Chains A and B, each alone.
Chain A
Amino acid sequence: MPKVARLHAILWGVFSVGGFIAAFLLPVLIYIVGIAYPLGLWPISGQDPTTSILNHHHLGTLFLFVTVAGSLYHGIYRFQSTLTELGLARAKRALEALGYLIVIVGILAVAYYLLMLNPGVLSLP
């Protein structure tokens, strides 16, 4: 019976979902938060976009969590794999461990800060 790498398959599946999130949701977040707001471009007029997004309690918080957590997982997972292809193959295990540590701490941090900013988000809309 061949050995099935179930955990690897699950992690790769999550990575793939993160790729979709980074492709569909991250560009608009980078634009409104990192470019339109500091340069005063459309559609920003006055209030900073993070506050505007968080004003839509459940939807805004969900959008930020999914986009940031999904993109972080996808970015780190692929970047550590890229480093192994650039001559760091011997450090593969260490890079994977460091990568997953950053991902886990990062996702917990996003959840914690969003809960602090919107404490009522866990209640039903």
Chain B
Amino acid sequence: MSKEKPFPEYRRKLGPGWWLANSHFTQYMIREWTSFFVAVFSLIYIYELSLFASGARADALNLLKNPGVIAFNVLALLFTLYHAFTWFYLIGKVQPIKMGKTTSKPWQALLVNIVLLLIVSFAVIEILVLR
């Protein structure tokens, strides 16, 4: 097959604000921006671990008590939960499970995975923090 295309390819040029044109695109972009909070929290925590490892434990703990860092962490938790809930819903949409004549719905996958998230979170707290 020749590499030359018989017709010129038309690609619609999108400006930086294309995602504001439609509510589905806006939701998609909010979901994509959850990655910013996931990445930045991970980088801040790696810095925390570096302070712990270098013996500057007091500095590490003071950083956690900084009001700006606490505010960022509250936002990061909200965005991470948004990432989690939309991820769970997508699992149900992409991989519906057939049980006899019925097929699972995305909201059922969301519900089951929220219960799993709560179980995992309580297990982490019980085993790694409270014991």
Query: A residues bordering B, Cβ < 8 Å?
Result: 19-20, 22-35, 37-39, 43-44, 48-53, 56, 59-60, 63-64, 68, 71-72, 74-79, 81-82, 85-87, 102, 106, 109-110, 112-114, 116-117
B21 within 8 A of A: no
The B contact surface, by secondary structure, is helix
Q: How many residues in B have their beta carbons less than 8 Å from beta carbons of A?
A: 52
Q: Are the C-beta atoms of B130 and A114 separated by less than 8 Å?
A: no
Which residues of the other chain, A, contact B112 by a CB distance below 8 angstroms?
A: none
Given A78-B35, A87-B16, A114-B49 contact (CB < 8 Å): yes
Q: Are the C-beta atoms of A74 and B32 separated by less than 8 Å?
A: no
Which residues of the other chain, B, contact A43 by a CB distance below 8 angstroms?
A: 125, 129-130
Q: Are the C-beta atoms of B124 and A71 separated by less than 8 Å?
A: no
Q: How far is the CA of A37 from the CA of B57 in the complex (A)?
A: 14
Q: Are the C-beta atoms of B36 and A106 separated by less than 8 Å?
A: no
- Which of B33, B116, B117, B127 meets A27, CB within 8 Å? B117
